[in-house]
Amino acid sequence: MIQGLVASIVASVLFGAMYYLAPALAPLDGEQIFGWRVLCTLPFTTALLLARGQWPRVRLLAARAWRQPLLALGLLASAAMLGVQLWLFLWAPLHGRALPVSLGYFLLPLVMVLAGRVLYRERLSHLQWLATALAGAGVLHEVLRAGGMSWETWLVALGYTAYFVLRRRLATDHLGGHWLDMLLLVPAALWFVVRAPSSLPLVLEHAHLWAMVPVLGVLSAVALALYMAASRLLPLGLFGLLSYVEPVLLALVALALGESIGAAQWPTYGPIFAAVALLVLDGALRLRRPAVQVQDKKPL
């Protein structure tokens, strides 16, 4: 449990750092950054895979996919779902859409809490139910105000939840499964890197990209590996709750990059921020409860 908690928090901090550094990757566009991210992440992910001795899991998964065509299709779907999220994550801050994406990450934990309840019969506490109601009120306001939530928000909140549920169904929620996801994304990544106009001259012409692109690969590899590890080590609901560390950081980054929350948007963000506070409180109480119970059981 402690390993999962630490992995989730450190991953969120690293994702926040990547979000902040994304504009420094200009003049690369969102698709080119996605391509370079995948290509630079895979070598470091491979090193982590070998260092942790998880290559046998890759072989077993490949053997299962060879025998089960439906599993092979599931692996392709899993890679595609992850690829969309990786692209959106670094496309948004380059196009002034960081705030809608951060809102999606605020809603993602609640969607995962509900998914855990419906799909895995995980129980919701009173605070979690109240947080769900508050977040629902925020979503309802946004729907009434703008005629619906932005596509970026829905893509994050629903897409990532579906991705993690699919990984659990396929039994690929480990580093080996994540490595396969990244490997299957290589053809798309190569296309975005070399398609006309190729991004290779851009990287060669801008010295700062010589360092930034490898740094992106290291941060991405470590953050994604920790995030996937946390998704396996923690119940889906608790994993969702801890995911609130990331959207808080992403919202701060969005504000630091010059975006702002308008007065008409506060009835949307306000209840969601309140839901965040309640879920963080609920998570803290749940983490503290076992320690209190152990102390109560000690002999006098």
Mean pLDDT of 245-249: 68
Residue 62: is its pLDDT beyond 90? yes
The pLDDT assigned to 218 comes to: 86
Q: Which residues contact 207 (CB under 8 A, 6 or more apart)?
A: none
Residue 84: helix, strand or coil by DSSP?
helix
Q: Which of 33, 124, 133 is nearest to 83 (CA)?
A: 33
CA atoms within 13 A on the CB side of 133: 7
Which helix (H) or strand (E) element contains residue 168?
helix 151-170
- Which one of 68-77, 87-96, 167-176, 194-203 scores highest in mean pLDDT? 68-77
Number of helices followed by number of strands (H, E) in the chain = 14, 0
Rounded CA-CA distance 166/109 in Å is 16
Q: Residue 260 in contact with residue 55, Cβ under 8 Å?
A: no
The pLDDT assigned to 170 comes to: 93
The pLDDT assigned to 294 comes to: 39
- The token duo for 275 is 């839901």
Q: Residue 4 in contact with residue 236, Cβ under 8 Å?
A: no
**Amino acid in the structure at residue 159:** G
Q: Name the one residue in this structure whose structure tokens are 């948007």.
A: 265
- In this prediction, residue 295 has a pLDDT band, given cuts at 50, 70 and 90, of very low
Residue 195: is its pLDDT beyond 70? yes
C-alpha torsion 197→200→202→206, nearest 10: 180
| Higher pLDDT pick, 175 / 58 | 58
- Whole-number percent of the chain with pLDDT over 90: 22
Q: Which of 37, 35, 10, 6 is nearest to 21 (CA)?
A: 37
pLDDT tens per residue across span 153-175: 899 999 999 998 999 899 998 88
Quick one: DSSP state of residue 124? P
Residue 261: is its pLDDT beyond 80? no
| Higher pLDDT pick, 226 / 244 | 226
pLDDT tens per residue across span 133-145: 888 888 788 777 7
The pLDDT assigned to 70 comes to: 93
pLDDT tens per residue across span 95-153: 888 778 877 877 887 788 788 888 888 777 788 788 888 888 887 887 777 677 789 98
Radius of gyration of the chain (CA): 20
Question: What's the pTM value of the predicted model, to 2 decimals?
Answer: 0.76
- Which one of 37-41, 55-59, 199-203, 274-278 scores highest in mean pLDDT? 55-59
The pLDDT assigned to 237 comes to: 67
The pLDDT assigned to 300 comes to: 35
- Least-confidence region, from 59-63, 196-200, 210-214: 196-200
Q: Residue 8 in contact with residue 223, Cβ under 8 Å?
A: no
The pLDDT assigned to 119 comes to: 86
